[in-house]
Amino acid sequence: MLTVHHLGKSQSERIVWLCEELAIPYELKCTTRDPVTMLAPADYKALHPIGAAPVITDGALVLAESGAVVEYIVAKYGNGRLTPTSDHPDFAQFLYWFHFANGTLQAQMGRSMILNRLNLAADNPVLAATRARVDRSFDLIEARVRDATYLAGEVFTTADIMIGFSLTTMRYFLPYDLGHRPNIRNYLGRIAARPAYQRAMQKGDPGMALLLT
């Protein structure tokens, strides 16, 4: 049985959402963060040597890293769904945005979050450069979802699942104003309307306000 070990307010929401989109059987085990440190408790960290979310188990397999988990589940249980084939005209765009989500956007937001916690001067050049990189990433997304319904094109894919966390829940850790990002707000509206997304968030993080605007 596929088991998703979900840590509240974490990238493991991607995996819950994926399982709901695919409508596959899975067991969901939810863990809440320590209310003081906002870190994962020791029993969650013990699931995998890296000690971070997400983690899945599938029989004897223990697998971490959200991109790897998404690809594993799609390959084993997806039956060709949510990923375009290599001969599809949107394949290259799909690959780019799937890897952009964690390789660029999430990494930059994570660095900015850490720098913000250091209480650096507002004119610190490293802080300014990091914030500028985050802005450029949001600029790129804003332009993409102006011209396309979803990241890969007109069809929803796992690239959208990958980026959803960074555009929404990650903003609990790094506040980011979407007031001047109308295309991203519209895109998140399309995401929020998906029944699988609604089910996933209700199951994984019930009661959490969704940062969709």
Q: Does residue 120 form part of some domain?
A: yes
Domain presence at residue 209:
no
Say whether both 119 and 179 belong to one domain.
yes
Number of domains the chain is built from: 2
Whether residues 98 and 188 fall in one domain = yes
Mean pLDDT of the 20-46 span: 89
At residue 159, the 3 state secondary structure works out as: helix
The answer on pLDDT for 123 being more than 90 is no
Domain assignment of residue 210, yes or no:
no
pLDDT for 150-194, tens place per residue?
A: 999 999 999 999 999 999 999 999 999 999 999 999 999 999 999
Instruction: Determine the average pLDDT of the residues in 80-99.
Output: 97
Question: Which residue range(s) make up the domain with 141?
Answer: 91-194
Strands 27-31 and 2-7: parallel
Q: Which residue spans within the chain are E strands per DSSP?
A: 2-7, 27-31, 55-58, 61-64
Instruction: Answer yes or no: do 57 and 109 share one domain.
Output: no
Which band of pLDDT confidence, cut at 50, 70 and 90, is reported for residue 70? Answer: very high
Predicted confidence (pLDDT) at residue 147 exceeds the cutoff of 90: yes
What the block records as the tokens of 150 is 């979803």
Answer whether residue 212 is part of any domain: no
Q: Parallel, antiparallel, or unpaired: how do β-strands 27-31 and 61-64 relate?
A: unpaired
Same-domain check for residues 61 and 105: no
pTM of this structure: 0.94
Contacts of 193-196 spanning 24+ positions with Cβ under 8 A: 194/21, 194/156, 196/17, 196/20, 196/21, 196/23
In tens, the pLDDT along 129-142 reads: 999 999 999 999 99
Which of 25, 12, 55 has the alpha carbon at shortest distance from 164?
12
DSSP state of 151: S
In a shared domain, residues 67 and 117: no
Q: What is the mean pLDDT of residues 84-109?
A: 97
Residue 67 is predicted with a pLDDT of: 97
Residue 32's pLDDT band (cuts 50, 70, 90): confident
Return all residues near 14 (Cβ < 8 A) that are at least 6 apart.
54, 66, 69, 70, 161, 162, 164, 165
